[in-house]
Amino acid sequence: MEASSDRDFGLQPLDALLAGLGLDNHALVSASTDQLTHKQVQKGRRGKYITVNIQRKIQKALNAAVPPGEDGEKVVFQLGDLFNYRP
């Protein structure tokens, strides 16, 4: 398969969000109940093409990894908060 720049979307909002929350790739892999790999998370952060199924796995893992806020409310992230493209 040929490498193509149209499958590279640049840094995603997920990268800044994880940095701001103090989470790394391993935190998402550990929080995941699905089969999520470090490589999939890294590809998602860097904007390499991943399927919507993998995007949902990352979303689910992030929502599980983020602790409740000071008011006890659980923050729920949507795919649009994490990725600026849809496969």
47 dihedral zone (left: phi>0; alpha: psi -120 to 50; beta): left
pLDDT of residue 26: 98
Tell whether the model's pLDDT for residue 1 goes beyond 50. no
DSSP letter, residue 36: -
Element (H, E) at 58: helix 52-65
Tell whether the model's pLDDT for residue 3 goes beyond 70. no
Tell whether the model's pLDDT for residue 49 goes beyond 60. yes
For residue 38, give the amino acid letter.
H
Query: For residue range 20-32, what is the model confidence (pLDDT) as tens digits?
Result: 999 999 999 999 9
pLDDT of residue 15: 97
Contacts of 66 (CB under 8 A, 6+ apart): 21, 23, 74, 75, 77
User: How far lies 85's CA from each of 9, 31, 40, in Å?
Assistant: 7, 24, 16
Confidence of residue 2 (pLDDT cuts 50, 70, 90): low
